[in-house]
Amino acid sequence: MAFRFEDLQVWQKAMDLDEQVNQLTKNFPKDELHILTSQIKRAADSVVLNIAEGSTGQSKAVFKVFLGYSLRSAIEVVSCLFIAKRRVYISDDVFTGLYNEYEVLVKMITALRNSF
C-alpha cells in the first residue's frame, strides 16, 4: 500500500462507516438534502479524511491533533443520527447499529491518539 493510512484499522473502520452513512442518507427526505443529509455526510467524510491527512508525513503531535478532529467529527455523526432518529428518518434498529459502530470507532480513535 502506498500510503500509511491505508494500513490503519481505524481508517478502514471509518471508511466502512462512511459508506454506511452515505447509503443511509439516500433514504432521507429531499428537503433535508442541503441540511441534515449534507451535514452527516460531511462529518462522516471528515472522520476518514482527518485520519488520512494526519497520518501522512506528519509528526506524532500533529497526527494527534488530526485524530482529535476525527474524534469530534465522529461525535457529530452520532448527534446527526439522534436528529435523524427523532425526525423518524431512521428506525431504532438502524440508529442502534450505527450508534454502536461509532462508539467502537471513537474508542479506536481515542486509543490511537492516547498511544502517542
Contact residues for 13 (Cβ-Cβ < 8 A; gap 6+): 101, 104, 105, 108
What single-letter amino acid sits at 10? V
**How far apart, in Å, are the Cα atoms of 79 and each of 47, 99, 109?**
14, 10, 17
What are the grid coordinates assigned to 98, written together? 450505527
Rounded CA separation 94/27 (Å): 12
Stated length of the chain: 116
Looking at residue 1, its pLDDT comes to 67
- For the chain, what percent of residues have pLDDT higher than 70? 99
Contact residues for 6 (Cβ-Cβ < 8 A; gap 6+): none
Per-10-residue mean pLDDT, the chain, length 116: 91 98 97 96 98 91 97 98 98 98 98 95
pTM across the whole model: 0.95
Looking at residue 106, its pLDDT comes to 98
Q: Count the helices and strands in the chain (H runs, E runs).
A: 4, 0
